[in-house]
A = this chain, B = another copy of it.
Amino acid sequence: MLDLSDDDALPDLAAEAAADRRGKPYVASVGKCFQVLKAFRRGQTELRQRDLGLTEICKLSGLDKSAAQRFSETLVTLGYLEKDPGTRRYRPGIALIDFYYTFMVSHRLAQIAMPILIEASKVYDTTVNLCELADTDAIYTVRIPQAKASYGTMLAGRRVPAFCTAPGTVILAHMPEAEADAVLAASDLRRITEHTLTDVTELKAQMAEARRKGFHVSDQQSQVHNVSTAAPVLRQDGRAVAAVHIPGYAPQWDLESVHEKLVPLAVDTARRISDSLTEAM
């Protein structure tokens, strides 16, 4: 699975930091400490490891040994990393959850969407998700899990590339075209499965279709044997702020039954959230 953090390796560190700051005050140490935390996410996807040794942190964060140690120890004393005294390896600390809560408590959209999503999940006993765009990724912010799904797909915070996933497509489709183009341009259009579209013209045609229909079904674009349905949550001005996403797994859901059942459910759920959203304003 590709990831944006691919490009924050060693040589780009300084560049990345300097990129957006444009004269704004900036504390380099803070950026470095987050490089360390990000290293763990990369470690999970690239090395399939939950805990990291100091030298692994070095490689994954792009910091030298001294810096890696300083920041790792700092994060340990703050509780955001834990250190096994035996193996001397670091792992993510439970205090990291605090930030999820901090963000979600103040997230009006999630608050409105949650009960509606829960109801929707009961119709066919399926997973139902809420996705939002961040940079070139769609991030799952609310997930109503079902027991059958795999653990990784139950967790909020998962990022998937916007361009090749149903929720991403549907959000990009209901956005000012210039912005959508910018996202596509910044995206790493890599082929994930053999069915992944990577041609910008084709992608834009797909988005246009999604805009007309008001939903999108992605067939094995980012995952084999997975048909994903997504419908946009719209603000009053018609701009998408999120997407309702309902995955249909292969043995149980084929393309036809997805169109017959999951599509109307996703569209209806998204519309109900959109309505509650405008009412609440």
Query: Interface residues, chain A, CB within 8 Å of chain B?
Result: 20-21, 24-27, 29-31, 33-34, 37-38, 40-41, 44, 50-51, 69-71, 73-80, 91-106, 108, 110-111, 114-115, 118-119, 132, 134-135, 139, 141, 144-147, 151-152, 154-159
Shortest Cβ distance from A109 into chain B, in angstroms? Answer: 11
Neighbouring B residues of A135 by C-beta, 8 Å:
79
> Can you list 19 contacts pairing A with B, beta carbon distance less than 8 Å?
A21-B77, A24-B73, A25-B70, A25-B74, A26-B70, A26-B73, A29-B30, A30-B33, A40-B102, A41-B101, A41-B102, A44-B105, A92-B102, A94-B134, A96-B103, A100-B156, A101-B155, A114-B145, A156-B156
A100 in contact with B102 given A24-B73, A27-B74 (CB within 8 Å): no
Nearest CB to that of A34 among chain B residues?
Answer: B78
A111 in contact with B151 given A99-B37, A157-B97 (CB within 8 Å): yes
This chain: copies in complex: 2
| Bound form: Cα–Cα A255–B155 in Å | 34
* Further 19 A-B residue pairs, CB within 8 A, beyond A25-B74, A110-B151, A119-B147: A26-B73, A27-B33, A29-B30, A30-B71, A34-B78, A37-B99, A40-B102, A44-B105, A50-B105, A96-B100, A97-B141, A97-B157, A101-B155, A101-B159, A102-B157, A104-B155, A111-B151, A118-B147, A156-B156
> Quick check: B145 and A78 within 8 Å, CB to CB?
no
Neighbouring B residues of A77 by C-beta, 8 Å:
20-21, 24, 26
Nearest CB to that of A50 among chain B residues?
Answer: B106
| Bound form: Cα–Cα A118–B122 in Å | 13
